[in-house]
Amino acid sequence: MRYDFDTVLDRRRTHSLKWDHCRDSFGLDDVIPMWVADMDFAAPPAVVEAIERRAAHGAYGYVSVPESFWESAIGWLERRHEWTVERRWLHRAPGVVPALSLSVNAFTEPGDAVVVQTPVYYPFFHAIENNGRRLVRNPLIADGDTYRMDLADLERKIDSRTRLLILCSPHNPVGRVWTRPELEALGEICIRRNLVVLSDEIHMDLTLPGHTHVPLATMSPALADRTVTCVAPSKTFNLAGLSMSLIVASNPELLARYERQFDASGLEIASLFGTVALEVAYRSGDEWLDQLREYIAENVDFAERFIRERIPSLRFIRPEGTYLALVDCRRLGMPQKALDDFLLRTARVYFDSGSWFGEEAAGFERINLGCPRATLTEALERMERAINSRP
């Protein structure tokens, strides 16, 4: 079956944060939003059908999560990532963002330090600081058109109160798919300095051609023993509104600590549609995902070529994974706020502002390429017109 990623869905006024934010916050209804990480594609038809069937039943009471739900997730991780996971290693979360907060509370004490590799997905900062922990920034090194980890800086920043490192793998927003040697070197430090690693692998299924995601916990038994991994079908299949993600931890002590926070937060009952969708997506979404990844790869090539040839004052940072890409706009010479306003009000496009991810990405924008080619083309043409006609 050939899936359709070209049809433009009108998402305005469908309770879409991505599409309604510019109208609700800025009073602008004609902006192309390419910010928050959800895609402008319908979920796989099998998922839509399963939800429609369940919705038609009409009774939406409390959920009992079936064993087949867990089996479906286990099958997915095995098939897609060669990761053999046992049922007793798994737990749930209503989303990876909630899982980050639960984990910070589970694996650290107030006042402890937690390391992140900036620029990085900004809810990492909130999960740490809103829970009274100390945020430690270990900036990535910008190396030409790519980024790498600064492990010497990491070593220097770990002190006696440092308990946890939150890894973003693949990395949002720089788009790196960390290689085995990179993960090994990072893991060696975490083992030697006795850190727990919370590995946010929500983008694991979305690698681009030539890049393979390695789940951190598959690197070695010693690393698995101190790793708690977040996975979810939400980015992969565009299900973020259904509130369902998973935690994987083979260390029973770490999983028990997570579970205590989960129970204490009253999260016992799962989302009905999230439960239905995860199981179907993970059981039958392979072919859809394979085609989606091809489509995203073509969007990446298209955006890269367009920017190089038609908006040469910008620099496209080619991602290795995710459907997000950083664009370096510093040569326009605008401070971040002026840049954001110019893109919103003059070009009529809206992105994630680089500085949200940390000062390292100031002067950048993160653009979301998870959309039909027609939407992407229109957004790039708007940027071209606005930028190239500046005095």
Ligand X SMILES: Cc1ncc(COP(=O)(O)O)c(C=O)c1O
Binding site for ligand X (CB under 6 A): 37, 95-97, 121, 168, 172, 200, 202, 232, 234, 240, 245
Residues 6+ apart with CB under 8 A from 333: none
Nearest Cα neighbor of 232 from 260, 263, 259, 201 is 201
State the nearest-atom distance from the C-beta of 95 to ligand X, in Å.
Answer: 3
Residues 6+ apart with CB under 8 A from 10: none
State the nearest-atom distance from the C-beta of 86 to ligand X, in Å.
Answer: 23
Q: Which is nearer to ligand X, 229 or 250 (CB)?
A: 229
Q: Which is nearer to ligand X, 213 or 348 (CB)?
A: 213
Q: Which is nearer to ligand X, 95 or 139 (CB)?
A: 95
Q: Which is nearer to ligand X, 126 or 310 (CB)?
A: 126
Could you tell me the two tokens for 145?
A: 């058109």
Q: Which is nearer to ligand X, 318 or 382 (CB)?
A: 318
Q: What is the maximal distance between C-alpha atoms in the chain?
A: 63
Q: Which is nearer to ligand X, 70 or 323 (CB)?
A: 323
State the nearest-atom distance from the C-beta of 326 to ligand X, in Å.
Answer: 13
State the nearest-atom distance from the C-beta of 39 to ligand X, in Å.
Answer: 11
Nearest Cα neighbor of 226 from 184, 188, 197 is 197
Q: Which is nearer to ligand X, 41 or 306 (CB)?
A: 41
Could you tell me the two tokens for 274?
A: 């999230």
Residue of closest CB approach to ligand X: 95
Could you tell me the two tokens for 224?
A: 């698995």
Is residue 17 within 8 Å of residue 37, measured between CB atoms? Answer: no
Is residue 319 within 8 Å of residue 203, measured between CB atoms? Answer: no
- DSSP per residue over 113-150, as a string? EEEE-SS--THHHHHHHTTT-EEEE-PPEEETTEEE--
Residues 6+ apart with CB under 8 A from 197: 164, 165, 166, 167, 187, 190, 216, 223, 226, 227, 228
Q: Which is nearer to ligand X, 74 or 247 (CB)?
A: 247
Phi, psi of 86 (to 5 degrees): -95, 150
Q: Which is nearer to ligand X, 241 or 378 (CB)?
A: 241
State the nearest-atom distance from the C-beta of 346 to ligand X, in Å.
Answer: 27
State the nearest-atom distance from the C-beta of 45 to ligand X, in Å.
Answer: 22
What CA–CA distance (Å, rounded) separates 172 from 100? 15
State the nearest-atom distance from the C-beta of 118 to ligand X, in Å.
Answer: 13
> How big is the chain by its Cα radius of gyration, in Å?
21
Nearest Cα neighbor of 255 from 111, 115, 107 is 107
State the nearest-atom distance from the C-beta of 230 to ligand X, in Å.
Answer: 7
State the nearest-atom distance from the C-beta of 14 to ligand X, in Å.
Answer: 17
Residues 6+ apart with CB under 8 A from 113: 133, 134, 135, 136, 159, 161, 162, 163
